[in-house]
Structure 1
Amino acid sequence: MEKLLSVIGEGKGVSISLDRGPFQNNGASPWYAYVGVGTPEQTLKFSFDTGSDFIWVTSSLCKADTCHHYGDQEFAYQISSSFSWVNQQTTEVNFGSWGNMKVKTGKDVFTLTPEALGQSTSGSVSLLSDVYLAQSYQGIQFRELDWDGGIGIPSTTELSDSLFVYRSFRGITPSNKTEPASFHFFQSLLDQGVVSSKRPYVTFLTDIDNKSGQVEFGQLNKDYRENREYLFLPWDKYSAPYLWTSKITSLSIGDTQLISPESITSTPYFLALDSGSSQFKGDLDVMATLYNIASKTKENLVIEIGETDSGNIGKLVVTSSMYDVLIEAGENKGEVITQFQPMENADYIALVGSVLMDYLYTVYEFRVVQREGENCVIPVGMWIFNKEEGPKVITTTQNKPARIFN
């Protein structure tokens, strides 16, 4: 990404409204933001997606029999005066269990909080980015997708892991050819001065009842300044290094322990908070067992992770009222379905999005370092807080407020 223009409010950050589409049984978050693409702006629905490391949009490259999705809009690159091609060779991008998307690579302007929607309180923020223009994708999961594209906010853009190609969820698939596209969305906000290096945060807060929420860059919600019902989940590197992951101490449902403190000494398990997802998904054995037990007994899922400032292990309790969800559109509409999904090539991980995050205030923390005179961001970890009005997902408490509010 490149600097495009200066913005008002040096380092104050930006808050963007989220809207909620119908919950569909495809594993994707129903939450999206309206983002302008191109010149003049074409307003499309985008997920701010902490489970991917690229930016993509459904485009006018699609044919009549491809790219069917519930969001139902596409970016017409031909009418954007600011659009340029980066690489017109077709590339395949891995969407994990959803399959592959065929894309071409372009570059254009992205405008956050488009003024035409009346959502902007401090003026719009524009930046220039490479973007994958989808020309084809198929499958029920895509047909049930509430958004038109995704803006990746990965923990890291490192691609050095040898296992990475086998553990791609929504990630760029490495090839022998040089990858032409470059995606540095959050770093671009830092480079423009929209986000201060002293507040390198991305936060999510949603309200299911009102179908509204916020994603904030470089800002913290002061309502949580004195909250003691929180956990810090330090970032630990999984084999798909761009995921926001932290090691699990144990995981159980009812009296059945699926991940024990003893087992993780030889093989660590991870929890990923993925804002582009909805349901729990991951390790085949763990998720299949969770689904079989939860769908019958409705017992609590208990995840031990992180620790308190007293040195106690942190604990999350996910009830059946959270993991059993009414399907509001698409296949299985009207049914209540238990949201645990086994996923190929997702060994030793439990990945979850809105099914858990809708009941928490979530903060992703980076650290900003200078390398050769340029900003670089390094993942620190995730902070999760119980909402002031809501279930007590986090059952352990802290003695002091969270460090990020100091």
Structure 2
Amino acid sequence: MKKSVLVNDNATGLSISLDRGPFQNNGASPWYAYVGVGTPAQALKFAFDTGSNFMWVTSSLCKADTCHHYGDQQFVYQLSSSFSWVDQQTIAVDFGPWGSMAVKTGKDILTLTPDALGQIDSGPISLISDLYLAQAYEGVQFYELDWDGGIGIPSTTEVSDAPFAAFSYRGIVTQQTSEPTSFHFFQSLVEQGVVSAKCPYVAFLTDMDEGHGQVEFGQLNQDYRNSREYVFLPWDKYSVPYLWTSKINSLALGETQIIAPESTTNPPYFLALDSGSSQFKGDFDVMTRLYNLASHTKDNLIIEIGQTDLGEVGKLVVTSEMYDVLIEAGQQKGKVVTQFQPMEGADYIALVGSVLMDYLYTVYEFNVVEAAGNVSLLPVGMWVFNKSTGPKVITTTQSKPARIFHY
């Protein structure tokens, strides 16, 4: 790859519309974007998922008794003139508490259609990627899934070698294949000059009331340029390294301390912002206590994490109006369910997606490194901002605007 492709200071990035499906009690985000797959492009619903390190789509490999999901569409690879197989061996891909998915590996073109605002001249953006074609999955979690596939935006492509990491979450299961798979969605945008190396950000902003949102690649929402109501969460490596994780200082529900400050050193607890998820989930003991307490007390969840530029610990406050959610479809339709879910094996981590992110403007920051003509992305951390309207989740303030707006 030529260096001139990477150093594209004039790259404007792109913004893609998100739509909201019904909130279902399966732990998955209701947000998705329409992405074209193949030639001609087949428009399918995809989640941009910071909680996984691969790309997958429900496909025509599925049989009548498999792959039932609320999104209800599939990629018919036989109709795509640009499709090719990478490996037709069936392998299992781990979906953590959901179970696993049987897939075969193909390669095809993904077409992203930028929003019209500021993107009129750019037209569609296309990139070629490996893609897992699902041929079998089952279970209520998949049945209640609002999207047809997922596009992983991991913090790193590193695979954990920790022997105690029984909790793989949504990750590639290492298997012997004739050709290694390659999933580098955001890196491809940088290499193609769509995203500037000086603006290596992925940002999410959603509006629950309107049912619409945006995910931005290489762009920042200038409404937050002068905000002081934000916290930077530096990336720290968890045993599942591709997750976007930062160490928690403390966590409490009302006056009840769940994770005490002295617990952060031996061993530390982590918070992950997972755009493919909805509810809080993770460490079995922590989430069990939170669910039991929150179901009765309705106290505020208080998370101390990150640091202000004045050296104070950042504080996020999540009210019961945020963590008690009306289920809009699926088995528990019409019920209000407290969104704390314990997970076996998910030790020392709390993950959360739309239940928290819908109330924030969230930016994931990379560092673009070029060496010997190759590009690699390293995680820097996450920035969360209070919205101008709605509850003030972040109760600490900064003395100056966020660094990312002054690149």
Q: What's the TM-score bracket when you normalise by the shorter of the two chains?
A: over 0.9
Matched, 1:128 2:163: no
Matched residues in 2 for 1:160 and 1:325: separation? 34
Moved more, 91-100 or 10-19: 10-19
Counterpart residue number, 2:302? 302
Structure 2 counterpart of 1:153, one-letter code: I
1:155-204 Cα deviation digits (max 9, x unpaired): 00001422486221110012355772110000000000000000000000
* Separation of aligned partners in 2, 1:85 and 1:178: 11
Deviation at 1:10, TM superposition (A): 5.0
Who is 2:224 aligned against? 224
Q: Is the 8 A contact 1:17 1:119 kept in 2?
A: no
Query: Structure 2 stretches of 5 or more lacking a match?
Result: none
2:301–2:317 CA contact under 8 A, matched in 1: yes
- Secondary structure of the residue aligned to 2:285 is helix
Q: What corresponds to 2:269 in structure 1? A: 269
Change (3 A) 1:399 1:333: same
Contact 1:10 1:194 in 2 (8 A): no
Distance in 1 between residues matched to 2:147 and 2:188, nearest whole Å: 23
- For the Cα contact (< 8 Å) 2:38–2:80, is it kept in 1? yes
Change (3 A) 1:223 1:372: same
Work out the number of aligned pairs and report it: 401
Distance 2:233 2:353 in 1: 15
Aligned partner of residue 129 in structure 2, secondary structure: strand
Shift in alpha-carbon separation, 1:240–1:89, aligned structure 2, 3 A: same
Q: Tell whether 2:256 aligns with 1:256.
A: yes
Distance in structure 2 (CA, Å) of the matches to 1:95 and 1:265:
29
Partner of 2:83: 83
- Measured in 2, the distance between the counterparts of 1:30 and 1:175 equals 31
1:346 is matched by which residue type in structure 2? A
Aligned to 2:328: 328
Please report how far the alpha carbon of residue 265 of structure 1 lies from its aligned counterpart in structure 2 after TM superposition.
1.7
Over aligned residues, Cα RMSD in angstroms? 2.0
Deviation track 1:111-166 (CA, whole Å, cap 9, x = no partner) reads 00179x99963311000000000000000000000000000000000014224862
Verify the 8 A CA contact 1:35 1:114 in the aligned structure 2: no
Pairing 1:148–2:148 present: yes
**Aligned position for 2:351:** 351
CA distance in 1: counterparts of 2:109 and 2:182, whole angstroms: 14
State the one-letter code of the partner of 2:315.
Answer: K
- Alignment partners' CA distance in 2, 1:234 and 1:85: 39
Alignment correspondent of 1:40 = 40
- Matches of 2:163 and 2:19, distance apart in 1: 36
For normalisation by structure 1, the TM-score amounts to 0.96
CA contact (8 A) 2:91 2:175 kept: no
Question: Aligned pair in 2 of structure 1 residues 133, 238: CA closer, same or farther (>3 Å)?
Answer: same
SS in 1 for 2:367: strand
Contact 2:9–2:197 (8 Å) recurs in 1: no
- Identify unmatched segments of 5+ residues in structure 1: none
Structure-2 change in CA distance of 1:77 and 1:176 (3 Å): closer
Paired residue secondary structure (1:396): coil
Structure 2 match to 1:200: 200
Cα deviation, residue 244, structure 1: 0.1
Matched, 1:388 2:376: no
Amino acid corresponding to residue 342 of structure 1 in structure 2: P
Distance 1:179 1:261, change over 3 A: farther
Q: Partner letter of residue 297 of structure 1?
A: T
After TM superposition, the score normalised by the length of structure 2 is: 0.95
Amino acid at match of 1:251: L
Contact between 2:87 and 2:178, CA under 8 Å: does it hold in 1? no
Instruction: For 1:119 and 1:109, locate their aligned partners in 2 and report how far apart those are by CA, in whole Å.
Output: 24
8 Å CA contact 1:113–1:120 kept in 2: the answer is: no
Q: Distance in 2 between matches of 1:91 and 1:225?
A: 45
Identical columns (%): 73
Q: Name segments (4+ residues, structure 1) moved above 4 Å.
A: 117-120, 176-179
Distance 1:97 1:370 in 2: 37
Match of 1:58 in 2: 58
Q: Which residue of 1 aligns with 2:237?
A: 237
SS for the counterpart of 2:145 is coil
